[in-house]
């Protein structure tokens, strides 16, 4: 099927959650400064403007200031974002949105175990204290993307419930994902990650087919042929030299797939796509040219001798399914080069679990690098890099990958360990 606008299966519900410190700023964003539709309020006075609702939450928190005096609450609220199935939600009434919200809150309040988190000593789940959002102050505001018109819900919840107890936020993001999966299953909506992987595989095949059909590589021909197949492709060009392409991406409604997610070993990125074309058409080049085009330059970072993992006899053997996207990178620590290779799905899982410390010097990229070193088994390098970021400590002698741990679970655990290693030396536990 190759119409002008290619049809794809749409995502089911996508849910995100995080505990936040600046509830006032989030209130302004969620309500679009009083321009968003308020779907529902809970345990708040009627008719309050957005900042009035937040002020009432702050007032409630102040009633329990003495209770939490020894360990003040830094993360004062919880932010949720709910994006239901696009086809269903386009014509929803306010009552439909309220029902969706109620279903989500009911399910998340009943979660006591989180699956596939921190699998240690054979445990497949981690226990968590259930939230009590139904008995907490909150408001929900409806957003519609300005371009696509696709609706989604922002929910801001008070951390302190009406009984004065603290809503637990341990693995709150993972809990939201679990609820979204349950809602999708109940309504017969497809899971977002499954659909994304299907799209990536389909787009990869389309790109490779177009490259195979070209007699010479040309960006205009490449994009025109993909657009003729119904794909919305967007080139990212250099600001000063429009002929130079830095990257490209595909858009599907509210979602974007970057070129770095396609193919194997990032072989369809703007910097590597011509080499990929050459591999598909070796006959188009004389033997002398082929050798220079396809043989890696020994002076490049990827082809240098890389260090063996510190603390281990060899890197972890990451099983890469044939044909699946792979992320690759070479990191330099203490003058040595460390080769990183991991499935893209593991990289994405790791990236979603990175938490940048507010009072530290480590950036998101710094923590990701530490997590990737842990993932590959370069323990000493990971520790050294975390110290350079103002953190420190060690994963410990018992640190390692469980034999039954898949790549995504291991990546998440490495991310959480990296979060801890990159915190400032003073390990004050946040609530």
Q: Is residue 429 part of a domain?
A: no
- Is 179:49 a contact under the CB 8 Å cutoff? no
How far apart, in whole angstroms, are the C-alpha atoms of residue 377 and residue 369? Answer: 12
pLDDT of 258: 93
How far apart, in whole angstroms, are the C-alpha atoms of residue 244 and residue 320? Answer: 32
Q: Is residue 26 part of a domain?
A: yes
In this structure, the answer to whether residues 352 and 206 fall within a common structural domain is no
How far apart, in whole angstroms, are the C-alpha atoms of residue 255 and residue 330? Answer: 29
pLDDT of 57: 97
Q: Is residue 6 part of a domain?
A: no
- Is 142:150 a contact under the CB 8 Å cutoff? no
How far apart, in whole angstroms, are the C-alpha atoms of residue 229 and residue 359? Answer: 49
Three-class secondary structure of residue 111 per DSSP: coil
Angle of the 287-294 helix axis to the 273-280 helix axis, nearest 10: 140
pLDDT of 334: 78
In this structure, the answer to whether residues 218 and 130 fall within a common structural domain is no
| Closest by CA position to 172, among listed 131, 136, 139 | 131
CATH code for the domain in which residue 67 is found: 3.30.930
Q: Is residue 269 part of a domain?
A: yes
One digit per residue, the tens of pLDDT, for the chain of length 431 reads 333 344 444 557 889 999 998 888 889 888 887 778 999 999 999 999 999 999 999 999 999 999 999 999 999 999 999 988 777 787 899 999 999 999 999 999 999 999 765 444 455 688 999 999 999 999 999 987 655 567 889 999 999 999 999 999 999 999 998 999 899 888 877 776 777 788 898 999 999 999 999 988 999 999 999 999 999 999 998 888 878 898 999 998 767 899 999 988 888 999 999 988 888 887 544 433 433 333 333 333 333 344 444 444 344 545 555 556 788 888 888 778 888 888 888 888 898 889 888 777 778 888 999 999 999 988 888 888 888 877 877 777 778 888 888 888 999 999 999 999 988 865 444 55
- What tokens were used for 43? 């345990």
Q: Is residue 431 part of a domain?
A: no
In this structure, the answer to whether residues 154 and 79 fall within a common structural domain is yes
CA angle 396, 402, 404 (to 5 degrees): 170
Domain boundary among 252, 274, 294: 294
Q: Is residue 426 part of a domain?
A: no
- Is 311:380 a contact under the CB 8 Å cutoff? yes
Domain boundary among 294, 326, 359: 294
pLDDT of 356: 84
Work out the mean pLDDT of the chain and round it to a whole number. 81
In this structure, the answer to whether residues 28 and 140 fall within a common structural domain is yes
In this structure, the answer to whether residues 170 and 49 fall within a common structural domain is yes
pTM of the model: 0.51
In this structure, the answer to whether residues 150 and 223 fall within a common structural domain is no
Residue appearing with tokens 């606008």: 5
pLDDT of 73: 93
Q: Is residue 407 part of a domain?
A: yes
SS3 content of the chain, % helix, strand, coil (to 5): 40, 20, 45
How far apart, in whole angstroms, are the C-alpha atoms of residue 121 and residue 99? Answer: 40
pLDDT of 198: 83
- Is 324:265 a contact under the CB 8 Å cutoff? no
Q: Is residue 130 part of a domain?
A: yes
In this structure, the answer to whether residues 149 and 232 fall within a common structural domain is no
In this structure, the answer to whether residues 324 and 286 fall within a common structural domain is no
Domain that holds residue 216: 193-294
Dihedral angle, C-alpha 105, 109, 115, 117, nearest 10 °: 100
How far apart, in whole angstroms, are the C-alpha atoms of residue 118 and residue 16? Answer: 19
In this structure, the answer to whether residues 203 and 236 fall within a common structural domain is yes
In this structure, the answer to whether residues 38 and 100 fall within a common structural domain is yes
Domain boundary among 175, 190, 205: 190
Three-class secondary structure of residue 381 per DSSP: helix
Domain count, the chain: 3
pLDDT of 428: 47
Helices (H) and strands (E) in the chain, counts: 13, 12
How far apart, in whole angstroms, are the C-alpha atoms of residue 271 and residue 396? Answer: 39
- Is 263:343 a contact under the CB 8 Å cutoff? no
- Is 137:56 a contact under the CB 8 Å cutoff? yes
What's the pLDDT tens digit per position in 282-304? 754 443 343 333 333 333 333 33
In this structure, the answer to whether residues 184 and 36 fall within a common structural domain is yes
User: Backbone phi, then psi, for 93, in 5-degree steps?
Assistant: -90, 170
Alpha carbon distances (Å) from 126 to 2, 16, 123, 393, 412: 46, 19, 8, 24, 13
In this structure, the answer to whether residues 305 and 290 fall within a common structural domain is no
């Amino acid at each position: 099927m190759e119409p002008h606008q290619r049809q794809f299966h749409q995502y089911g519900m996508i849910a995100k959650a995080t505990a936040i410190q600046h509830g006032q700023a989030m209130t302004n964003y969620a309500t679009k400064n009083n321009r968003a539709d308020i779907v529902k309020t809970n345990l708040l006075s009627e008719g309050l403007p957005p900042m009035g609702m937040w002020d009432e939450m702050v007032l409630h928190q102040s009633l329990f200031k003495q209770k939490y005096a020894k360990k003040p609450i830094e993360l004062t609220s919880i932010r949720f974002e709910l994006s239901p199935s696009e086809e269903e939600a386009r014509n929803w009434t306010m009552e439909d949105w309220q029902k969706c919200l109620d279903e989500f809150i009911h399910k998340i309040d009943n979660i006591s175990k989180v699956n596939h988190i921190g699998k240690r000593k054979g445990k497949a789940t981690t226990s968590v204290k259930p939230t009590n959002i139904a008995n907490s102050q909150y408001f929900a505001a409806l957003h519609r993307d300005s371009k696509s018109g696709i609706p989604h819900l922002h929910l801001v919840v008070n951390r302190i419930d009406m009984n004065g107890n603290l809503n637990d936020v341990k693995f709150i993001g993972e809990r939201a994902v679990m609820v979204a999966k349950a809602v999708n299953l109940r309504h017969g909506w497809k899971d977002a990650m499954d659909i994304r992987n299907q799209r990536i595989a389909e787009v990869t095949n389309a790109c490779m087919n177009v490259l195979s059909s070209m007699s010479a590589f040309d960006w205009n021909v490449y994009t025109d042929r993909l657009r003729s197949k119904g794909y919305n492709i967007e080139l990212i060009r250099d600001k000063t030299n429009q002929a130079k392409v830095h990257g490209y991406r595909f858009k599907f409604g509210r979602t974007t797939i970057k070129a770095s997610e396609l193919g194997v070993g990032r072989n369809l990125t703007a910097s590597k796509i011509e080499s990929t074309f050459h591999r598909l058409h070796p006959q188009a080049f004389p033997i002398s040219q082929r050798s220079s085009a396809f043989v890696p330059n020994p002076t490049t970072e990827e082809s240098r001798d890389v260090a063996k993992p510190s603390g281990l006899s060899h890197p972890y053997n990451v099983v890469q399914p044939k044909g699946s996207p792979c992320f690759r990178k070479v990191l330099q620590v203490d003058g040595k080069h460390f080769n990183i290779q991991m499935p893209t799905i593991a990289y994405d899982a790791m990236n979603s679990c990175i938490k940048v410390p507010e009072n530290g010097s480590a950036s998101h990229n710094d923590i990701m690098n530490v997590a990737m070193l842990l993932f590959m088994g370069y323990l000493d390098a990971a520790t050294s890099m975390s110290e350079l970021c103002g953190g420190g400590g060690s994963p410990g002698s018992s640190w390692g990958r469980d034999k039954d741990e898949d790549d995504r679970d291991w990546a998440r655990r490495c991310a959480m360990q990296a979060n801890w290693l990159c915190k400032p030396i003073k390990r004050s536990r946040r609530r």
